[in-house]
Amino acid sequence: MTPAEPQAPAGGDADDALTWGDEADSSHVEGPTPTGRPRRGRRSDSAGDELGADLDDESGDPDPDSDDDEDDVDDGPAVMSSASLVVHGVLGGVFLLWAAGWIVAVGDFTNPFTDAISSLMWNLGELFAVAAPIAWFVAVIVLVPVDRTGRRLAWMALGALLVAPWPLVIGGSA
């Protein structure tokens, strides 16, 4: 028996299966288009404008006399660089270590109070001390936008100093 010659599909060329098609193809579906959102611009000549936004009253339209029209529209969601992502991971690990350090430090403390209210407040303070590093990290991630990576890392570095388990770090005990 001899093999049969390969036949091209009835719908067109044999290479059609290797293409994505175009607008004329009936099965072509266009993906979502990014919507243009106004971006907060930084202007050095804006006195009294803390955010540096070039927006009119409440319409959300850019100021017509702004000279940086090409930077007014955001092309899509901001993406973090690889180095920034690694630094975020390292700082997240530091905050987890701080939480573990507070658990160890809290175990070394003894409650000096005998009445119920004071004892409850002492235990609540210990709970907040353990939860503070994780809460700080999550709050910075949620509240500071991705496109402000420098500001986000600065807030994380400040938090790493503020919520550190200082009794454990300096070797003191209660």
Residue with tokens 């454990």: 168
Residue 155 has pLDDT above 50, yes or no: yes
What's the pLDDT at 159? 94
pLDDT, one tens digit per residue, over 71-122 is 555 555 677 888 989 999 999 999 999 999 999 988 888 888 889 999 999 9
What's the pLDDT at 21? 65
d(CA 92, CA 160): 10
Determine how many CB atoms are found less than 10 A away from the CB of residue 134: 16
> Once rounded to an integer, what is the mean pLDDT over residues 142-148?
90
What's the pLDDT at 61? 53
Instruction: Name the H helices within the chain.
Output: 82-108, 116-143, 149-162, 166-169
Domain coordinates in residue numbering, the chain: 85-167
Q: How confident is the model at residue 166 (pLDDT cuts 50, 70, 90)?
A: confident
pLDDT, one tens digit per residue, over 21-56 is 677 777 766 666 555 555 555 544 444 444 444 444
What's the pLDDT at 171? 79
Q: Tell me the pTM.
A: 0.55
